[in-house]
Structure 1
Amino acid sequence: MIEVRNISKTFRSGRGVVNAINRVSITIRAGSIAAVMGKSGSGKSTLLNCVGGIDLPEKGEIHCFGTPVHRLSAKSLSRFQRRHLGFVFQRGNLLSYLTVAQNIGLPLALNGIGGKVRQARIEALLEAIDLLSAAGALPHELSGGETQRVSVARAIAHRPKLLLADEPTSNLDTATGDRIVQLMVGLAAQTGCTILMATHDRDLARFTEKIIELKDGKRTADS
């Protein structure tokens, strides 16, 4: 279970202090799919970053599967992220100097999974995302949709407990975006992974079990 209790996060800018997240609490059941929705600037990405330990809240608590993420040391947080979290970013964020297969295999290598096990898992994921023929391609040779498919495969390769997806379809056409989310949901379901997705696309609501609405850093409603 993911439990976010009364967290707040501020940033300083040229316009002063920005309340990115203001006293937000959420609970997400393990193995479920939830979406954080709201307009640009509503605090969606900040909330995901706090849950994933990329940002730390100034107030409140975050517990992921019993682990108090907000209290972890830098070393313990890095270990927790590496083992238990998967990230899908808006633009894929693939490493430009690694091939498709190497990008997918990176989290496996970081978790000490090597040899035949790693190779078999990479090949299975390449087949699942229909990119076996692109195993040796570099990221700049991929289309936007292909990049996101590789990003999803990389995020799920080490079988994390929680998959965080920040606007994974915002740069894609509707059909491609739907395919990416279906792929993400399908791969996660095979391992019982929990999904928390930030999006402004209400058409994606049909893939989720819970929608958390944010406006100006505050939670407004669930559906």
Structure 2
Amino acid sequence: MIQLASVSKTFQSGRGKVRALIDISFPIEAGTFTALIGKSGSGKSTLLNCIGGLEPPDTGNIACFGTPIYSLGPRELSLFQRRYMGFVFQRGNLLSYLTVAENIGFPLTLNRVLGRSQAKRIDELLDRIGLASAATALPHELSSGETQRVAIARAIAHSPSILLADEPTANLDTVTGQQAVELMRDLGKDHGCTIIMATHDIEITGSADAVICLKDGRIHEEER
């Protein structure tokens, strides 16, 4: 389970203080798919970053499977992220100088899954995402949909406990976006992964186990 307790976050900007998150508290059950929805500026990406250890909250606590992640030191937090978290970003964020196969293998290398074990896992995922023929391609040779499929495969390669996705369908057409979400959910389900996705696409919420709507940094609605 992931537990958020009274999480708040304020940013300083040229227009003064911006209260991105205000007293956010809710649980996320292990192995479920939770969608964070809301308009631009509602706080959903900030909340996702806080859960992922990328943006420490000003106040409150976040515990991931019993570990209060912000009580960890920088090295311990980095190791926790490397082992237990996977990230999918809006534009894929693939490493431009690595091939498709090398991008997927990157988190495996970080976690010291090497040699035949790594090659087997990469082949499995390439086949699963339908890009076995693109193993040696570079990111600039891929379409937007293919880029996101590789990004999803990379995020799930090391079988993380938590998969965090920030607007992964924003640059995709409706059909391709839905396919990407289905792929993410299927791959996550294979490993009992807890998926949390920030999105503005209402259609995605139909496949979510829980939907949390944010408005002006607060929970506006919650459905399970």
The interval holding the TM-score normalised by the smaller chain is: over 0.9
CA distance in 1, matches of 2:117, 2:14: 50
Q: Report runs of 4+ in structure 1 exceeding 6 Å deviation.
A: none
Deviation track 1:187-212 (CA, whole Å, cap 9, x = no partner) reads: 00100000000001110011101000
Q: 2:151 aligns to what SS in structure 1?
A: helix
CA distance in 1, matches of 2:71, 2:42: 25
Partner of 2:33: 33
Matching residue's letter, 1:46: T
Partner of 2:143: 143
Deviation track 1:110-159 (CA, whole Å, cap 9, x = no partner) reads: 00000111000000000000001100011011000000000000000000
Partner of 1:220: 220
Partner of 1:98: 98
Partner of 1:163: 163
Partner of 2:117: 117
TM-score between the two structures when normalised by the length of structure 2: 0.99
Deviation track 1:94-123 (CA, whole Å, cap 9, x = no partner) reads: 000000000000000000000111000000
Partner of 2:200: 200
Deviation at 1:71, TM superposition (A): 1.2
CA distance in 1, matches of 2:149, 2:21: 30
RMSD: 0.5
CA distance in 2, matches of 1:83, 1:32: 19
Matching residue's letter, 1:192: G
CA distance in 2, matches of 1:172, 1:131: 18
Matching residue's letter, 1:44: K
Deviation at 1:72, TM superposition (A): 1.1
Matching residue's letter, 1:80: F
Deviation at 1:70, TM superposition (A): 1.6
Matching residue's letter, 1:142: L
Q: 2:91 aligns to what SS in structure 1?
A: coil
Alignment size in residue pairs:
223
Partner of 1:84: 84
CA distance in 2, matches of 1:9, 1:122: 38
CA distance in 2, matches of 1:144, 1:4: 33
Partner of 2:5: 5
Matching residue's letter, 1:50: C
TM-score between the two structures when normalised by the length of structure 1: 0.99
Gaps of 5+ in 2: none
Partner of 2:188: 188
